[in-house]
Amino acid sequence: MKYKGIIFDLDGVICHTDEFHYQAWKTIADKQGIYFDEIINNRLRGVSRMESLEIILERYTGTPLTHEEKLQMADEKNEVYKSLLMQMNETHVTKMVLDTLKDLRKEGIQLAIGSSSKNAELILKQIGLNNFFDAISDGNNIEFSKPHPQVFLLAAEYIALPPENCLVIEDAQAGIEAAIAGGFDSVGLGDWAKDCGETYHIQNFDEILSIIRRKY
């Protein structure tokens, strides 16, 4: 098999937290009187927290904010977001995702997480997958976030495989770009990671199995 390891993005691939991100950013934006909607929220997929804030601030018209004020807004958003994450539990992972992960494990594939989120460990704990993956590379161990490839390169290093033997699964354009920049083949899952250079495109998570089992 060509792929000996799979690096999964977390938000939008293993589980869905975009609604929580939206609600948390909306709380902050409303407080500051900044226009924010679901369309702008779609631009935040896979993008780091501070870069997300900069996208939201494109609509800000008040006096220029200092770096400290921006950090405070991002911290405030994160507190709201973390309290929303408390609603998550095992039911936030679909049976299809769980069954596919178990089947991939049976195939002897190394399974890693490559997420921009600094809350990846908390999310994995909430959904009951904190002890499942062989390695976790997330927003806490990187200097540069997607579309920079660092998070995936570190994940590959953690599972001791070169990029050419790993497959990256992503739901966002920034993630596909990061995979390409790191020399990884990639799978775009769903409508937000389509026609952006992905090696394969799928609509359902279990289609990963047929890609992995393909003869090259």
Is 21 a residue that touches ligand B16 (CB under 6 A)?
yes
Is 171 a residue that touches Mg ion (CB under 5 A)?
yes
| Interatomic CA distance for residues 123 and 109, integer angstroms | 23
Closest by CA to 156, choosing from 93, 110, 208, 200, is 110
If the CB atoms of residues 128 and 139 are measured against Mg ion, the closer one turns out to be 139
Is 97 a residue that touches ligand B16 (CB under 6 A)?
no
CA dihedral (65, 67, 69, 72) in degrees, to 10, reads 150
CB atoms within 10 A of CB 83: 11
Which of the choices ligand B16, Mg ion, none does residue 73 contact, using the CB cut-off of 5 to 8 A by kind? Answer: none
DSSP one-letter code for 66: P
Asked if 211 contacts 204 with a C-beta cutoff of 8 angstroms, the reply is no
If the CB atoms of residues 107 and 128 are measured against ligand B16, the closer one turns out to be 128
Stretch that binds Mg ion, among 12-20, 34-42, 68-76, 152-160 (CB under 5 A): 12-20
Is 115 a residue that touches ligand B16 (CB under 6 A)?
yes
In the complex, minimum distance from the CB of residue 128 to ligand B16, in angstroms, rounded to a whole number = 17
Distance from CA of residue 110 to its chain's centroid?
A: 18
99 is catalytic: no
Candidate residues 48, 110, 137, 150; the one interacting with ligand B16 per rule CB under 6 A = 48
Asked if 56 contacts 93 with a C-beta cutoff of 8 angstroms, the reply is no
CB atoms within 10 A of CB 132: 17
Dihedral sign, Cα of residue 14, residue 15, residue 16, residue 20? negative
Is 46 a residue that touches ligand B16 (CB under 6 A)?
yes
Closest residue by beta carbon to Mg ion: 12
9 is catalytic: yes
Is 12 a residue that touches Mg ion (CB under 5 A)?
yes
Which residues bind to Mg ion, rule: CB under 5 A?
Answer: 9, 11-12, 46, 171-172
Which residues bind to ligand B16, rule: CB under 6 A?
Answer: 9-12, 21, 44-49, 52, 78, 115-119, 139
Q: Which positions are catalytic?
A: 9, 11
